[in-house]
Every structure is written in structure tokens, then in C-alpha cells.
A and B are shown apart, each in its own frame.
Chain A
Amino acid sequence: DGGITQSPKYLFRKEGQNVTLSCEQNLNHDAMYWYRQDPGQGLRLIYYSQIVNDFQKGDIAEGYSVSREKKESFPLTVTSAQKNPTAFYLCASRAKQTGLKGDTIYFGEGSWLTVV
């Protein structure tokens, strides 16, 4: 089935460690996004990529890094510089706009990251 797959679903990180969240899509979408969700704050954009080998910072990029070496993959690394990483992380993708239909972002099922 086509879709967006995030892994792992649950991840525990020790303080001082870097961890990487995986996001893979087989929808042939050009753009991919990472959002962070905290209770009562909605979703905030971390990074986004509109095309392979290119990405831009979102609103809360500090302490995170990404790469976009392949169209279908957009991994997010939560570095030790991120002081409060415990959150629910959502990956999303979108097809390149070609008309009025399909101009929407589709989300994966999310990954829970907890610092222990």
C-alpha cells in the first residue's frame, strides 16, 4: 500500500545522545516535512524539503538536523543540543502542485520520543 512510514513508533533517548527518526514514503511525493507536537501547542514545523538534496529550516530547527539524499526518505536527527526533545514527531509529504487537486499534505502515524 502507498503511504508514509515512520519508525520507530516509540524511542527512548538518554541525555547526551543523538537519535534518528526514520521517514519513508512511496507516494512519489516531492516535498517532505517534519513536525513536532506537544500537548496543547499544536504542530510546529522543524524542517521541510521541497526537492532532493535541498531542505529549509522551519520554525523550531535548533537542535535538529535532516538530510534528503533520496526522494523517498527524509530522516530527522534529534541531537544532544535539543534540550527538550520529549514529544510526538510527525513526518508528512506532499506531491508537487500540478493543479487544484492534490495540493495537500499527508501524514505518517508518528513517533514518540522520550528522554530517560
Chain B
Amino acid sequence: GEDVEQSLFLSVREGDSSVINCTYTDSSSTYLYWYKQEPGAGLQLLTYIFSNMDMKQDQRLTVLLNKKDKHLSLRIADTQTGDSAIYFCAESPATPYKLSFGAGTTVTVRA
């Protein structure tokens, strides 16, 4: 959506780190999410962060939140071929709870 922006494409070499960036405009956003979509499938929740946090780590995934700049990033360490997918950033206020999505970043992992 217009309120959430992401770059459309990212190419990364296998084994390197990937960083996907996202900016949002709604200062009332309470929850911020990263979803992964493989071809022809639904969205899989990867991780989420609350607006009162600035970092969250979950295995190979690290989420950084800069609330002042309304900037969210997802870092994938040791990127694998199975990480090739579209990654969506999403945000939601507390109420009404409904997600607004970015256009998605297509990540391509090359050998």
C-alpha cells in the first residue's frame, strides 16, 4: 500500500547476508511484521516486532526498528536458496487491527 514502501528487488549470493528495508508512515503503528510468500502460496509469518522494541533476533532473522525514522529492516544471515521468495513488510495500529502491506521485495538467491 501507499503507506508502506519497500524496494522491489534484491539479489544476493548464497551464504551472504540479505537486508530488506521498509518505511512506513503511520506513527500509530503498534505492530510491524515480516511475511514470506513463495510462488503461488499464501503468506507465512516470519517475525514481528512491537513498536516499543528496537531489535528482535530469531535464529537467522534480525529485525531492526527505527521508530523515529519509521524504518524497519529484516536481515537474513547466511542466505540460502530456500530463502528466495517475496518478502512483505506490514504494519498495523492496535485498533482497528488490520494490516497494511508494502508491495513486497522479491529476493533472488544466486549460487
Q: Does A13 contact B (CB under 8 A)?
A: no
How far, in angstroms, from A68 to B12 measured CA to CA in the complex? 44
Docked-complex contact B88 and A107, CB < 8 angstroms: no
Of A42, A103, A107, most B-chain CB atoms within 10 Å: A42
Q: How many residues of B contact A (CB 8 A)?
A: 24
Docked-complex contact A110 and B8, CB < 8 angstroms: no
**Contact string against B for A residues 81-116, beta-carbon threshold 8 Å, 1 for contact and 0 otherwise:** 000000000101010010010011111111000000
CB closest chain-B residue, reference A45 = B98
Of B41, B50, B98, B99, most A-chain CB atoms within 10 Å: B98
Whether A106 touches B45, Cβ cut-off 8 Å, given contacts A42-B101, A42-B103, is yes
Whether A43 touches B97, Cβ cut-off 8 Å, given contacts A107-B42, A109-B41, is no
Docked-complex contact B104 and A42, CB < 8 angstroms: yes
Docked-complex contact B102 and A42, CB < 8 angstroms: yes
Q: Does B33 contact A (CB under 8 A)?
A: yes
Interfacial residues of chain B within 82-99, with CB under 8 A of chain A in the complex: 88, 96-99
**Contact string against A for B residues 1-27, beta-carbon threshold 8 Å, 1 for contact and 0 otherwise:** 100100010000000000000000000
Q: Which residues of B contact A104 (CB under 8 A)?
A: 31, 33, 45, 48
Interfacial residues of chain A within 43-99, with CB under 8 A of chain B in the complex: 43-45, 48, 50, 56, 58-59, 90, 92, 94, 97
B19 vs chain A, min Cβ distance (A) = 19
Of A40, A44, A58, A107, most B-chain CB atoms within 10 Å: A107
Q: How many residues of A contact B (CB 8 A)?
A: 29
Q: Which residues of A contact B104 (CB under 8 A)?
A: 40, 42
Q: Does B43 contact A (CB under 8 A)?
A: yes
Which A residues are closer than 8 A to B by beta carbons?
Answer: 4, 6, 31, 33, 35, 40-45, 48, 50, 56, 58-59, 90, 92, 94, 97, 100, 103-110
Which B residues are closer than 8 A to A by beta carbons?
Answer: 1, 4, 8, 31, 33, 35, 40-45, 48, 50, 88, 96-104
